Amino acid sequence: MPSTATIPKAVFWIFLVIGQVLTAQVPLTLPPASASGDRCDLSGQWNLDEQPATNVTGNLVFETANSLLQHWANTRYRNGHTIVPGTIPVGTILYHGAIMGPHIPTALDWVATEPDHSMLFCMGEVKSGCLHVTFVVTRPMKVLYFDGSSAALFSEGSMDTQDLLAWSEMKPEWALNEYQRIEDLCKWGQKYGLNGFVRMQMNFEMMICNFTSHMEVVSSLNLETLHLKLDNGQPTEDLNTMHSTFELMNSASWREAYPGETQVILDYSGLVSFYDTALVPSLAPRRVGLERWDHRVAGISSEDMERVKDRLAQLIDTPAVWM
């Protein structure tokens, strides 16, 4: 605590400093408004109040590319419109909580990029506890990243881009059918040597197509089960459950903004955007009058769907795309 005598002195100095800063500041003058109303007038000044022209999507392509692997942007706009090839480098640590009994997966299954996430899937009887496994990547893994909240199992658009690759049609009634989805995505990806898929829900996660080909077990722990109380797969207000959910959200908060999830190395040269109006013209009329969060990939024509799949196949067949 400062003594009462020093307070008026401190206040005096603060006012003096603020006064000096204020007098040192020169107000910015606005450039004269351009008569033509152009977005960029002849003096090179941008008019940032101008809305993008109707139907243009360049701003959306740019904004999604600028938001990839960042948690908040992809929570706000959860219907993904971008698929990007990426690599998971050797040495990356990944986590798996065994949901179906104490077995280390050998075929396809899921991993999280944070243990706070995988712990929610560490389930078992109170007596036997649960199995939590840590893996290290031993060979570079080829993955595809679906942007948006692509692991939020909703039927309103967050799974559209995966449905397209797995089933060549949108299947909202299969939103919760994760086993069918991972099987069919891996089957599609096998043709191109893909090892997995990166998605996001409360944090980032990966679908791994073969647990023994590119990873080794670092540790396998028999832990006390978390006694989570779920209702329809969703966490309840039970205190213990809320605590674990909070830990997960806290770990995701490290990934909210740039640089986001840095364990996935994306190749931006292979980015495929559903806002690309030359690649996917059929979606343009569907977006007219809709707010951005209502944009969907559902409604794409079958010709455009084939074009996207051909483009992806070409890209991921190119060795240069992979590190």
Ligand X SMILES: *[C@@H]1O[C@H](CO)[C@@H](O)[C@H](O)[C@H]1NC(C)=O
Those residues whose C-beta lies under 8 Å from the C-beta of residue 75, and which sit 6 or more positions away, are 149
Q: Could you say which of 210, 220, 277, 282 contacts ligand X (CB under 6 A)?
A: 210
3, 36, 54, 234: which one binds ligand X (CB under 6 A): 54
| d(C-alpha 209, C-alpha 190), whole Å | 8
For ligand X, which stretch binds (CB under 6 A), given 143-151, 206-214, 245-253, 313-321? Answer: 206-214
According to CB under 6 A, which residues from 12 to 51 bind ligand X?
none
CB half-sphere exposure, 20, CA atoms < 13 A: 5
Residue nearest to ligand X (CB): 213
CA nearest neighbour of 271 among 153, 145, 167, 156:
145
83 vs 143 by CB, closer to ligand X: 143
Site for ligand X in 252-291 (CB under 6 A): 284-285, 288
Q: Which residues of 270-280 are buried (b: 16+ CB within 10 A; e: fewer)?
A: bbbbbbbbeeb
212 binds ligand X (CB under 6 A): yes
Residue placing its CB nearer to ligand X in the complex, 45 or 277: 277
Q: How far apart are the first and last CA of the chain?
A: 58
Q: Under 8 Å CB-to-CB from 161, ≥6 apart: which residues?
A: 80, 81, 82, 83, 146, 148, 150, 274, 297
Contacting ligand X within 85-124 (CB under 6 A): 107
Closer residue to ligand X (CB): 212 or 302: 212
Quote the least distance from Cβ 212 to ligand X, whole Å. 5
CB of 61 to ligand X, least distance (A): 17
Segment lying near ligand X (by CB under 6 A), choices 11-19, 139-147, 156-164, 207-215? 207-215
How far, rounded to the nearest angstrom, does the alpha carbon of residue 56 sit from its chain's CA centroid? 24
**Where along the sequence are the contacts to ligand X (CB under 6 A)?**
54-55, 107, 210, 212-213, 284-285, 288
